[in-house]
Structure 1
Amino acid sequence: MRHKLSLAATGAVALLALTACGGSSTPSAETPNPEDPVVVTVGAMPVPHAKILEYVDQNLAPEAGIDIEVQEFDDYQTPNIALAEGSIDVNYYQHLPWFEDQVATKGYEFEHGAGIHIEPYAAFSQHGSVEEIPDGGMVAITNDPSNQLRALKLLEKGGLLENIEDDTTALSLTEEQNPKGLEFEENQPEVLVQQVQDPQVDVAIVNGNYILEAGMSTEDALLVEDVTAKNPYANFLAWRAGESTPAIEKLEELMQSDEVKQFIEESWPNGDVMPTE
Structure 2
Amino acid sequence: MLKKIALAALLSASALAAHAAELKIGASNVPHAEILEEAAPLLKEKGVDLTIIPFQDYILPNTALANEEIDANYFQHIPYLNEVLSQNPSYKFVNAGAIHIEPIGIYSKGVKSLKDLPDGAKIVIRDAVADQGRILSIFEREGVLKLKDGVEKTSATIDDIVENPKNIDFSTQIEAALLPQAYQNEEGDAVVINANYALGAGIDPVNEPIAVESGENNPYANIITVREGDENKPEIKELIAVLHSKQIQDWIKEKYKGAVLPVSE
Contact 1:64–1:250 (8 Å) recurs in 2: yes
Is 1:136 aligned to residue 124 of structure 2?
no
Contact 2:115–2:143 (8 Å) recurs in 1: no
Moved >4 Å (runs of 4+): none
Aligned to 2:131: 147
Shift of 1:168: 3.8
TM-score by length of 2: 0.85
44, 54, 57: which one pairs with 2:27?
Answer: 44
CA distance in 2, matches of 1:197, 1:179: 27
70, 74, 77: which one pairs with 1:95?
Answer: 77
Q: Closer, same or farther in 2 for the Cα pair 1:200/1:114, shift >3 Å?
A: closer
Shift of 1:173: 5.2
Aligned to 2:37: 54
- Aligned identity (percent) is 33
**Structure (1 or 2) with the larger CA radius of gyration:** 2
Q: How many residues align?
A: 240
Q: How does 1:25-44 map to 2 (within 5 A)?
A: 34-36=16-18, 37-44=20-27
Is 1:224 aligned to residue 212 of structure 2?
yes
Is 1:177 aligned to residue 160 of structure 2?
no
Aligned to 2:45: 63
Q: Which amino acid aligns with 1:123?
A: I
Contact 1:34–1:62 (8 Å) recurs in 2: no
Contact 2:114–2:139 (8 Å) recurs in 1: no
Q: How does 1:75-90 map to 2 (within 5 A)?
A: 75-90=57-72
SS of alignment partner, residue 112 of structure 1:
strand
Contact 1:125–1:196 (8 Å) recurs in 2: yes
SS of alignment partner, residue 226 of structure 1:
coil
Contact 2:100–2:262 (8 Å) recurs in 1: yes
Unaligned 5+ segments in structure 1 are 1-32
Q: Closer, same or farther in 2 for the Cα pair 1:200/1:44, shift >3 Å?
A: closer
Q: Which amino acid aligns with 2:123?
A: V
Q: CA RMSD in A?
A: 1.6
Q: Which amino acid aligns with 2:215?
A: V
Over residues 115-146 of structure 1, what are the superposed CA-to-partner deviations in whole Å (9 max), with x where a residue is unaligned?
11100000001122333210101100122111
TM-score by length of 1: 0.82
CA distance in 1, matches of 2:112, 2:238: 47
Contact 2:119–2:166 (8 Å) recurs in 1: yes
Higher-helix-fraction structure: 2
SS of alignment partner, residue 98 of structure 2:
coil
178, 187, 207: which one pairs with 2:194?
Answer: 207
Aligned to 2:12: none
CA distance in 2, matches of 1:180, 1:169: 18
Aligned to 1:11: none
CA distance in 1, matches of 2:94, 2:221: 15
Contact 1:34–1:66 (8 Å) recurs in 2: no
Aligned to 1:268: 256
Shift of 1:200: 4.1
CA distance in 2, matches of 1:250, 1:199: 44
Q: Which amino acid aligns with 1:199?
A: E
Aligned to 2:226: 239
Aligned to 1:189: 176
SS of alignment partner, residue 34 of structure 1:
helix
Shift of 1:91: 0.5
SS of alignment partner, residue 114 of structure 1:
strand
CA distance in 1, matches of 2:185, 2:202: 17
SS of alignment partner, residue 44 of structure 1:
strand
Unaligned 5+ segments in structure 2 are 1-14
